[in-house]
Structures are given as structure tokens and as C-alpha cells.
Structure 1
């Protein structure tokens, strides 16, 4: 990174040939004497300024905002070290990893949604899903069954495509949050009927909500793709609100 030193030298001139006719020292805490503030005493059309105090190139305080000492004119940010820029750059491995996560998560939820909606893959269909929800204490199960199955099915497709990812991931997170709350009494591990499986799926949906879908996605370039934290925060609020409505209002 280069620092352009535009401070006057001991003779009152500037160290390079660049013009400083528009420079106003009083704006930066420098003082001018009357005899030095008029044109003359140097090249035609230039001003010479008297600087209060000796300027130390290595004095950090000279670059502070106190108005005294040297003026730090500008920094050339185009000469950053290549290694540091490369280390912070998004890489293809992250895109591939997010693509695999999306495809796996999308397939799981599409399959579960198809079980609930259509009775596919040995599922119980809408009637069986409604009966299962009724045993969990839910009301209006004829509405809740297609809502749950439809959320899993549609959101799974969208996640796999990387389309409307914040909304889709929020839907999956809300469904899994309900599953975790309802199954908490059974413990954690899956072999005992615990919440291990929905907890992992919910964590994957939460991670995808904040990372975004990656660049191999239909969302690339969209507004929510360019603002992942903002869109993830909104999606998280939607997930929490939807989960609360289902648990508190329909049970």
C-alpha cells in the first residue's frame, strides 16, 4: 500500500511536481503567514505556506485528526498485497459445498413433503398426516396437514434450485423448529425417538439461511443474494413467527 506524501518540505515547497493550487491549508490546521500567503517566492502561480512545528514522517500523531502536524492526503488502495486479497476472496470450493448442501437438504424435504401430500415413498398422505397431527394435540389438522407437507415440498424444491433461498430456508427452519419442540420430551438421540434428526436438518436450514445459496444458484445477483445478513435476519423472524403461530395458535 503506498502513502502519497504531499507535505511541504523544509523549504515550503512540495516534494513532487503535482500542482497543489487548490489546496487550502487552513482546512487542515496549517497556518499561513501574510508574507507567505501571496503569490510569489516560487514558481509562478503557486503559494508557499508556513507550517507550524516540525513534521516528522514517522510520527503517528502527525496523522491524527487534531489539525496539527502533517496532513495525510490519501491512500492508494489499489496496491493491496495480492495474498491478502486472495485469502478473503470467495472460492469455488464454497460454491460447490453449498450446492451439495442445497441438493441434499432439498431432496430430503421434497421426499418428506411428497409423503405427506401424495402418499409417495410409503407415506401416509394427507389423511394420515392429519391424523398424526391430531395425536400431537393440533387443531384444524385438515388445514395444517397440507400446509406442512406443502411447505416441505415447495421449499425443498426452491432450496435445491437456489431460488428465493431466504424464504425457502425459513420455511424449512420453522417446520423443524416445531418438530424439535414437540419431540423434546423424547430426548436427543434418534434411536430413542429423540430430536437428533430434525435438529440436524434445522441446523442445516439455519446455516443455509445465513450463508446464502452460493453462486451456483438461481438467486445469484438478486437483491437478497447481495444482502445475505439482512435477508437472513428477515427470514429468521419469519421462521420464528410462523413456528409460534402454529404451536400457540393451532394446538
Structure 2
């Protein structure tokens, strides 16, 4: 269990976590709350299930993953799980929508949609966080230290009992 939460005090992971979390939060807020010109929960669910023909559960998990997952990522809570979720979401977005548009975003308005360069960046940043953890000032780091402390206390208690039994 400690492995899920283990991290170091890296500033770079803190920066990755916050920047990625803020960017994904904006997209999640569009889908969940209708902020920043988004369609909100019912509009996004309608688009995902009606137009894209995604199963209801997948559509729901994408919306929740981007909105609540981004907040968890900023806090450094369940960083590896959230990063893995973002990788799955972005691979799904590429496969279902963005691959036919090619690599580049629609900078000049000549494509029907957006390419997958943004999604590739999210995948790369998420992969780095999945490998290394949340870094400095993460809730995961606090949890890992707490788990490690409990394991150390239990080990010391066992040794103490063994010592008393021998003595």
C-alpha cells in the first residue's frame, strides 16, 4: 500500500502536478459545471452518449475523472491513480475522436477537429507522475510517511516482545 503513495520531495513533480491539474480542471469544469463555455454535465453526457455513442458509465467516469481527479492531482492525493486515469482518458479521446485529425491542433481552422498533440502532452506528464509520484507538498507523501511510521512502530513492538520473550 505504501508504494502507491510513496514519493520524494521533488519540486518538478509538484510543478507537473499543479500545472496538469489546473489545465485538466478547466476541461473537467466545462464538462461537469458548464464553466468556460462548456456544456455542463447533462449536455456533455448527451454528447458523449448520443453523438459519440459512449456507454453511460464511460462518459460519467470521464467527466468525474477530469473534474474531481484534477482537484485530487493538485492536492497530490492518489497521484498515481489519477495520472493513470488521465492516461486512459486521453488514449480514449485520441482513439474515439482525435486520431483522424492528425497530430496538430486546429491552429489555422483548416481541419474538421483538433489533433492529438495536447493529449500526447497530458499522457507524457501523467506518465512522469505515475512513475515518480506527486513530489513535494503532496497528500500522498503525508500518507506514505504515516504508513511508514505505523509499520516502523509495529516492527519495533514486535522486536520488543521478542526481546522480552528471550530475556
Q: Does 1:148 align with 2:62?
A: yes
Structure 2 portions without partners, runs of 5+:
1-7, 148-167
Question: Is residue 126–residue 145 contact of structure 1 (8 Å, CA) maintained in 2?
Answer: no
What is aligned with 2:134?
213
Deviations 1:119-172 (A, max 9, x none): 1111101222123213223243xx444321111111111111111111111111
Q: 1:138 maps to which residue?
A: 54
Distance 2:63 2:69 in 1: 10
Displacement of 1:207: 1.3
Aligned to 2:30: 115
Higher relative contact order structure (alpha carbons within 8 Å, sequence separation ≥ 6): 2
1:159 pairs with 2:63:
no
Q: Which runs of 4+ in 1 moved over 3 A?
A: 143-146, 221-224
Please state which structure has a larger fraction of its residues in helix.
Answer: 2
Q: Within 5 Å, which residues of 2 pair with 1:155-234?
A: 155-182=69-96, 183-191=98-106, 192=111, 193-220=114-141, 222-223=143-144
Aligned-partner Cα distance in 2 for 1:146–1:138: 10
Q: Distance in 2 between matches of 1:202 and 1:132?
A: 24
Q: Distance in 1 between matches of 2:65 and 2:103?
A: 25
Rounded Cα–Cα distance in structure 2 between residues aligned with 1:170 and 1:158: 13
**1:178-206 CA distance string (max 9 Å, x none):** 01112211111112421111111122111
> What is the DSSP-based 3-state SS (H/G/I as helix, E as strand, rest coil) of the residue aligned with 2:141?
coil
TM-score normalised according to structure 2 size: 0.70
Q: Which runs of no fewer than 5 residues in structure 1 stay unpaired?
A: 1-90, 227-251
The CA distance in 2 between the partners of 1:146 and 1:123, in whole Å, is 16
Query: Could you say which residue in structure 2 is the equivalent of 1:129?
Result: 44
Q: Partners in 1 of 2:136 and 2:41 — Cα distance?
A: 36
For residues 32 and 60 of structure 2, the distance between their equivalents in structure 1, rounded to whole angstroms, comes to 6
How many residues are matched? 133
User: C-alpha distance in 2, partners of 1:151/1:109?
Assistant: 9
Helix, strand or coil at the partner of 1:220: helix
Q: Which residue does the alignment assign to 2:164? A: none
Q: CA–CA distance in 2 between the matches of 1:221 and 1:154?
A: 20
Contact map agreement 1:130 1:144 (CA 8 A) in 2: no
Larger Rg: 1
Give 3-state SS (helix, strand or coil) of 1:148's partner.
Answer: helix
Q: Superposed, which structure 2 residues align to 1:230-245 within 5 Å?
A: none
Equivalent position of 2:163 in the other structure: none
